[in-house]
Structure 1
Amino acid sequence: MDNAGKTSIVKRLNGDDVRNVSPTLGFSIISIMFKDYNLNLWDVGGQKTIRTYWKNYFEQTDGIIWVVDCADHNRLESGSEELYKLLDEEVSGSGSDLVIPLPP
C-alpha cells in the first residue's frame, strides 16, 4: 500500500536517516544482518499502478511484511483486501503459509 511507511521502516532497520523519504517507484533492495541471518529486504512501491507487478516478487521469498497505515481506517480495509487478493493469486493452500496480523 502506498504511503504506509514501508521505506521508513526499511531505512530505520538499516540505520539510515528517515527524515526525507520519498515514494518508492518500482522497488529497492537492501541487505542487513539480523542475528546470524543475512536478510535481503525488498521495498516495493505501493501505488495502484505497480500493484499488478507485486506477484513478480514472490519467487524465492521466505516471508512478507505487509505494512498499512493503521491511522487511516479506510486504508486498513483496502490493505487487507489487497493482501488477501495477492495471497489468493500466489499462495497454494499448503497449510504452511500463515497470515499472522500484528496489532497496531
Structure 2
Amino acid sequence: MGLGHSSRTPQVLIMGLDSSGKTTLLTQVLTGHTMDTSPTIGFNVGTLDLDKKNSLTLWDIGGQKTLRKNWKYYMDDVKALVFVVDSTDKERLPEAAEALKRVLSEEKVKGVPLMVLANKKDLPNSMTIREISNQLNLTVLEDRLWQIQACSGQRGLGLNQAFTSVNKMIKKS
C-alpha cells in the first residue's frame, strides 16, 4: 500500500466519551473479533474495505475528558464523523451531548456528515434511538447529513450497515 493510497481513502473519525465502546467497535468491524480493550491514549487506526471499490480509513481517538481537547487535531481532511454513545449510560448522555456539540462547532468539520452509533443495544435497559437523538439534539442539525443507528460493538450487530451508510453519506456530501 503506497502513501498515495491513504489520501484517496476517505478519513473517518470515530469519537465519543470514554467507555462508549469505540475501540471494541473498531476491532469488531475490522477483524470480526471481540477483544479486551483498555482505554485508548492517542488513537487506533485501520482501513475498512467495504467492497472492491470502497474503503474507509477509520480513526478511533481516545475519549477521556483530558484527551477530548486533542480531538480537533485529528479533524483535518475528515470526510465523516462517527460519534459513539453508550446507549445504556443515561447519566453521561448530557456530557456526550456537550462533547458532540463542541465537535460539530469546529470549523474544520463544517458540513461533514455525522453518524451517531447507539452502541450496546444488545444490553438490557438501553435507551431508544429516539431518546438518544433527542438528548443529543440531533433534530436541530441543519446543513449536515446525519443518521443515528443502533449497534453492538461486542456482537458486531449493525456495524457493517452503519459504515456502508457512512460511505453513502460521504459520496452525497
TM-score (norm 1): 0.85
Distance in structure 2 (CA, Å) of the matches to 1:40 and 1:70: 25
Aligned to 2:145, which of 70, 74, 98?
A: 98
List, as ranges, runs of 4+ consecutive aligned residues in structure 1 with deviation greater than 6 Å: none
| Correspondence 1:1-104 to 2 at 5 A | 1-15=17-31, 17-35=33-51, 36-90=53-107, 91-92=109-110, 96-102=143-149
**C-alpha separation in 2, matches of 1:8 and 1:82:** 20
Instruction: Provide, for residues 1-30 of structure 1, a one-character-per-residue CA deviation record: whole Å limited to 9, x for no partner.
Output: 100000011000111532311111111111
CA contact (8 A) 2:111 2:145 kept: no
Letter in 2 for 1:88: S
Root mean square deviation of aligned Cα: 2.1
CA shift in 2, pair 1:93/1:37, >3 Å? closer
Contact 2:26 2:60 in 1 (8 A): yes
Q: Is the 8 A contact 2:23 2:44 kept in 1?
A: no
Task: Judge which range, 49-58 or 12-21, deviates more.
Answer: 12-21
In terms of fraction of residues, the more helix-rich structure is: 2
Q: Which has the larger radius of gyration?
A: 2
| Range with bigger deviation, 52-61 or 11-20 | 11-20
Q: For residue 52 of structure 1, what is the amino acid of its counterpart? A: K
- Identity value in percent: 35
- Structure 1, unpaired ranges of 5+: none
For structure 2, list consecutive stretches of 5 or more residues without a partner in the other structure.
Answer: 1-16, 113-141, 152-173
Normalising by structure 2, report the TM-score: 0.54
Normalized per residue, which structure has more strand?
A: 2
Contact 1:68 1:75 in 2 (8 A): no
Judged with a 3 Å threshold, the aligned counterparts in structure 2 of structure 1 residues 32 and 102 are, in CA distance, closer, same or farther, namely closer
